[in-house]
Structure 1
């Protein structure tokens, strides 16, 4: 069983490296293709992604807080 971490780690590094190569290549090709993208449209898209991320983070925090309270964890802060 001492060989498993070596094989699994090697496979993981290899799979992630191949995935990163193709992701970078795809983004580079898309950047060359869409050089004339409208700045206003790009800013709108970035704003939407940022808003979705913040709302998702807030929802995750509220769900975690509710789940911990439901399971009986004491969430009070005492100084």
Structure 2
């Protein structure tokens, strides 16, 4: 009985997450149908801002990681 516990929990988790994803996608699709008035230009501008923010955050995280690794004395040379 104990061997089947992880299988049951993983199956239940997959089922719950699958149902949640279905309704999340459906809700976003329905919201998109309602808000067709949003201009394509505004959407592209917002997407560009998100992409720039993500890139800057990724760059900042890389720099912080490099500085922290240097201070801890880790070997950062390429082979």
- Fold-level match, TM-score > 0.5? yes
Matches within 5 A, 1:1-79: 1-78=2-79
The aligned length equals: 78
- Once residues 25 and 2 of structure 1 are traced to their aligned partners in structure 2, the CA distance between those partners, rounded to angstroms, is 36
Q: Report the TM-score when normalising by structure 2.
A: 0.82
- Once residues 12 and 61 of structure 2 are traced to their aligned partners in structure 1, the CA distance between those partners, rounded to angstroms, is 32
Cα distance change on mapping 1:67 and 1:42 into 2, 3 Å: same
TM-align CA RMSD: 1.6
Larger deviation, residues 23-32 vs 68-77 = 68-77
Residue-by-residue CA offset, 1:22-73 (whole Å, 9 max, x unaligned): 1111111111101121111111110111111111111221122222222221
- Once residues 68 and 47 of structure 2 are traced to their aligned partners in structure 1, the CA distance between those partners, rounded to angstroms, is 31
Q: Report the TM-score when normalising by structure 1.
A: 0.82
- Once residues 55 and 27 of structure 2 are traced to their aligned partners in structure 1, the CA distance between those partners, rounded to angstroms, is 27
